[in-house]
Amino acid sequence: MNPLPRFLAVALFVVLVALVSLLAMSTWRGARLGPGAEHSVSGTVVANGSAGDGSRPAPRALALSQRYALGLGLVALALVLPLVVSLATRPGPSADSRGPFSAARNEIGTLARLAQNSVAQGEELSRERHVRRRAEEDAHLKQQLLTRSLEEKIRLGRDLHDGIIQSLYAVGLTIESVRALLASNPQEADRRLEQTRARINEAIRDVRTYITGLAPDRLREAGFAHALDTTLADLRSGRDTRFDIKIDDVAAALLTPEQALEALQIVREAVSNALRHGGASMITVRVHQGDREICLLVQDNGVGFDAIAGREGGHGLGNMNARATRIGATLRVTSRPGEGARVIATLPILQSTTV
């Protein structure tokens, strides 16, 4: 901005203040001199050499004030003319003066666009995260379904091995005993053949039950003790094997349905191994309650085996361990060649014992 107009305006203001002050003083002095004062400005002094009454100012001073006032007026006029010219020729607002506002508007617009882009990118990232999370959940669900399907296949194979196969094995033993009775005792042979036919039909029903994914109905309807008696009766049919069975009904009642089913299959597998591989003539089965667990024992007097090395080519021990793990039980198998075998399963009590 040009500083000349501002300087002229300040100088004019000072001159005008001085002029007004001088005029006011002259007026005040003229009022004190009286009406004849202005005629004595060009006259002579009085005889006593004074300028009149000692209480009034001299007419010369009043004339001097008027001359000063005239000079200040001329100076004021001289300041007014260049001030008017400078203001008239002052340029209007240029593009530079509007520049900061335009730049500010441009910056605000840029910030607004950046904010919109940030919001759009945030929404896009949120959608991508949602899609990724859904994909991960779907993949996890598929993996769970696959794992569950594999576990179900393993369980089904284990049930078929420990259930259906053992039942068919018992049927085979009965048929072998029938061959020896055909000549000596036809009536007994016919009775055992009828039992064999009934067991085959029962095995067919069990196969249908496994196909539909259901547990054996007899375990639910008759209870653990009765289902165990029926299972052992099927296995020992046609053999001269003695069984010592003692089941604590209170302990059996504390088993959950899943525990009861798995415990029944463990007993079936242990007894079947004792008959098929051990050639046992005496098998002991016990179920009793401990302090915090239920103990299951299957012991035989068969030929035994090396429990550390296991039995090659068989799935019985592996299936029993898998079933025990499934219900949170611990399984211990002890055996030596010529000393029979001993299977102990310890199942945790999951149901309340309060009445």
The CATH number that applies at residue 296 is 3.30.565.10
- In three-state secondary structure terms, 34 is coil
pLDDT at 55: 44
Q: Indicate whether 237 belongs to any domain.
A: yes
Mean pLDDT to the nearest integer, 142-162: 68
Q: Indicate whether 27 belongs to any domain.
A: no
> How many structural domains does the chain have?
1
Report whether pLDDT(292) > 80: yes
Q: Which of 24-38, 269-283, 332-346 has the lowest mean pLDDT?
A: 24-38
**Could you tell me the pTM of the whole model?**
0.46
Mean pLDDT to the nearest integer, 161-190: 79
| Secondary structure (DSSP) of 306-345 | -TTT--TT--HHHHHHHHHHHTT-EEEEEE-TTS-EEEEE
Nearest to 25 by CA among 74, 76, 72: 72
Higher pLDDT, 62 or 306: 306
Q: Given pLDDT bands bounded at 50, 70 and 90, which one contains residue 52?
A: very low
Cα–Cα distance, 274 to 304 (Å, whole number):
8
Q: Do residues 12 and 79 make contact, with C-beta atoms less than 8 angstroms apart?
A: yes
Cα–Cα distance, 202 to 196 (Å, whole number):
10
Cα–Cα distance, 104 to 165 (Å, whole number):
88
Report whether pLDDT(256) > 70: yes
> Which domain covers residue 316, as residue numbers?
142-348
Exposed e or buried b per residue across 318-355, where buried means at least 16 C-beta atoms within 10 angstroms of its C-beta: ebbbebbebbebebebebeeeebbbbebbbebeeeeee
Q: Indicate whether 268 belongs to any domain.
A: yes
Q: Given pLDDT bands bounded at 50, 70 and 90, which one contains residue 148?
A: low
